[in-house]
Structure 1
Amino acid sequence: MTTRIDNLKLLSFASEIDDKTIEQAKETAALPFVHPHVALMPDAHYGKGSAVGTVIPTVDAVIPAAVGVDIGCGMIAVRTTFDAGAIENLDRAELRTSIESAIPLSPGNYNRAVDRYPFTAGRIAVLEELAEADGVDLAHSPKWREQLGSLGGGNHFIELCLDEDDRVWMFLHSGSRGVGNRIAQRHIKIAQRLCRQWHIPLPNADLAYLPHGTSELDVYLRDLAWAQRFALENRAEMMDRFRQAFAHWVGHDGEPATLETERINCHHNYTVREHHGGKDVWLTRKGAIDAHEGVRGIIPGSMGTRSYIVTGKGHGGGLCSAPHGAGRRFSRTEAKRRYTEADLEAAMTGIEYRHGAEWIDEIPQAYKDIDAVMADAERLVSIDHVLRQVLNVKGT
């Protein structure tokens, strides 16, 4: 379903959405530089500054807080050459332990060294060269190299999945880690300071923006591009480590790279230059993926529910975008109030995962029904594969 909200520049694709999220989206859509409209994705829910699941096209301005503090957060998926029969008699706890050893989990937990894997050095070199070429100042994050290949916490995860034909997929969700957060926080504060200095009235301070023609916007866009590249490389680094652990687990004799048949790596928190409504705009996808016609994408469910590999349909009303997941129904605090560790265990029956009360706020019941989200997204994407988890690893 698609609904225009109160004749504003606001279209909603969500059949389940609360008033608080709608009001937040109205504030964003009312900004004078929004064109042609804001699109609310099927998984939209209340967030900081602007709703998560919001696609915001802006002319000659960018809102740093709308991009968010986890710049470039997104998904990567790899389809392997293996099927369910190859792993059914293997100890999944053994693979989980191997993953936890290879990839640092939880906020603030980084790699002790950057030379453990041979493929890491090339990624660091690319990021160093990009920072030098664009004048990106990373003095605020001297440990950014150690952050490469680390998961983080919250709803970031690593999974082993099976698709509708019982083929094995590797799957993970993460972003630009601490360095991306530092970059975001710096520019959010600059935008807020400038809007105060220029006496620009805003519905809330997190809609502060950087206008075209200012050095502040130029610097932000350079820093943003670097953080988005870091997030892309971070996911690829973790996937290569996951692939190596998986190859050892299944007894794969060849190079680990030979066990994958396709790889998809996509952002869902980012800004990019695109053309919509007859104009070139800065398109911010805050909790949304690129769904231009033919573009492959990934829409995960919550832990314990289905996820989807999709192809975009290029729907103009949706600003060539699609949802980035199930979307929260309850806040983390509310989820912990409603559910118990026993509830989580019941929801994760048959899935190898890290047991503990730390993950109650990620219980599937805290999220929207992914099937309803995908039904709402029917005009935005076509479904290529439906995945179900057999192993889940989360940070705290």
Structure 2
Amino acid sequence: MPYETLKLSTPKPVLSWANHELGSEETKMAKNVASLPFVFKHVALMPDVHLGKGALVGSVIATKEAIIPAAVGVDVGCGMCAVKLPFIGEQVEGKLKKIRQEIEAAIPVGFNDNKEIEKAVTNWQGWREFKDLHSKVQNLESKAMKQMGSLGGGNHFIELCLDAENNVWLMLHSGSRHIGNMLAQNHIDTAKHLAKLAELKLPDPDLAYFVSGTPEFAAYWNDLQWAQHYARLNRDIMMARFKRIVEKAIAGGKPTKPLLEVNCHHNYSEKEVHFGEEVYVTRKGAVRAAEQDYGIIPGSMGAKSFIVKGKGNHDSYCSCSHGAGRLMSRTKAKKQFSLDDLIQQTQGIECRKDEGVIDEIPGAYKPIDEVMKQQSDLVEVVATLKQILCVKG
């Protein structure tokens, strides 16, 4: 489905790949962003768009000479990685419960961290740059080290999947943990403070921004890139452990060569060239989908997920959705669904089936097939995955 230009009276247009009308709060949020003077050309909304903080989740915002920290968000570098292994479904039959138990023992979830720090973590060159990060996080280096290789909570997950040809895939979703959150919060506070001092008339205080060429912009950009690298390595560390667990269960621990590896952010900002100009592209709940880029679009727990390849659609700033997108809030999901609903909707999947994960029930998310139809001009599907094991954060 091609995009539609929303009927909004804003200085810059808003192009939407969602086939539903935005609610009043969502419309207001889209208008607020499209009204900012430094927004480049237009704002692009992905099919999974929904309410966020300051800017909509599922929005792609290209800017000139400025960046909005709250639009990037607090889970800096949050994203996904997936690995296709040379195994087939029959090889994991009868082993899923044990694999899940070993994942839960090897990879901390929620607020937990690692008790021991492995070499791949201590050897990361990023620690040498830690002293250059925001002064208010200087006491967090030890915590950041211990959390490297941990999942976090909320909608973060680890899944073992099968594709349509019965091949085994490993997939996980995580970000930059506490250190990324603290870096983001401190810079958001600074941006709001500067906006107040300058008496800027912003449509929303969460749209406070930094102007390029200022020390505050340079400090934020430095910390942002660091946190994005941390998030990517965090996923790599967990995936390496996950891969060893599956290899042990299937091949007696013999290392295997992945057939395909994908690792992509969906909460981040980068410098890119679009329409012949260098701009800052912030993807808040969106994946880069330049031509030949591999990406991951997960459904909910119990639904299909997709490995995709970008088509390089410049109207979307070469982007696509980052998932199905929530249909309802966590609070509403807990009120609307019961434990029986969760058990029924996750039938056949080795996962937690308790009241602690009811807010992640498939029924709380948009139908992923519908979301995929709406972005056929943005990506092509490389593999369709169905999870058979899921560990939630």
What is the TM-score with the length of structure 2 in the denominator?
A: 0.95
- Alpha carbons 2:75, 2:180 under 8 Å: kept: yes
Q: Distance in 1 between matches of 2:300 and 2:252?
A: 30
The equivalent residue for 2:63 is: 58
Choose which of 98, 104, 107 in structure 1 pairs with 2:108.
104
The equivalent residue for 2:53 is: 48
Q: Distance in 1 between matches of 2:285 and 2:30?
A: 13
The equivalent residue for 1:297 is: 295
Structure 1 residue runs of 5 or longer lacking an equivalent are none
Deviation at 1:16, TM superposition (A): 2.8
For 2:259, what is the secondary structure of its paired residue? strand
For 1:154, what is the secondary structure of its paired residue? coil
The equivalent residue for 2:161 is: 161
The equivalent residue for 2:16 is: 12
The residue type paired with residue 42 of structure 1 is P
- Structure 1 stretch 22-31 or stretch 48-57: which is displaced more? 22-31
The equivalent residue for 1:186 is: 186
Q: Distance in 2 between matches of 1:33 and 1:216?
A: 17
Q: Distance in 2 between matches of 1:294 and 1:264?
A: 12
Identity percentage over the alignment?
A: 46
The equivalences for 1:85-104 within 5 A come to: 85-88=90-93, 90-104=94-108
The equivalent residue for 1:217 is: 217
**Superposed structure 1 runs of 4+ greater than 6 Å apart:** none
The equivalences for 1:91-240 within 5 A come to: 91-106=95-110, 108-115=111-118, 118-122=119-123, 125-131=124-130, 137=135, 138-142=137-141, 143-240=143-240
Structure 2 residue runs of 5 or longer lacking an equivalent are none
- Alpha carbons 2:248, 2:254 under 8 Å: kept: no
The equivalent residue for 1:76 is: 81
The residue type paired with residue 27 of structure 2 is I
For 1:141, what is the secondary structure of its paired residue? helix
Gap change, CA 1:308 and 1:364, over 3 Å in 2: same
Q: Distance in 2 between matches of 1:195 and 1:121?
A: 38
Q: Distance in 1 between matches of 2:340 and 2:249?
A: 30
The residue type paired with residue 5 of structure 1 is L
Q: Distance in 2 between matches of 1:140 and 1:267?
A: 26
Aligned residues: CA RMSD = 1.3
Deviation at 1:22, TM superposition (A): 2.4
The residue type paired with residue 91 of structure 2 is A
Choose which of 336, 339, 350 in structure 2 pairs with 1:338.
336
Deviation at 1:237, TM superposition (A): 0.4
The equivalences for 1:355-374 within 5 A come to: 355-374=353-372
For 2:301, what is the secondary structure of its paired residue? coil
Q: Distance in 1 between matches of 2:21 and 2:306?
A: 21
Deviation at 1:76, TM superposition (A): 0.2
Deviation at 1:278, TM superposition (A): 3.2
- Alpha carbons 2:272, 2:278 under 8 Å: kept: yes
For 1:266, what is the secondary structure of its paired residue? strand
Deviations 1:203-226 (A, max 9, x none): 111100011121000000000000
- Alpha carbons 2:244, 2:253 under 8 Å: kept: no
Q: Distance in 2 between matches of 1:135 and 1:18?
A: 38
Counting matched residue pairs gives 386
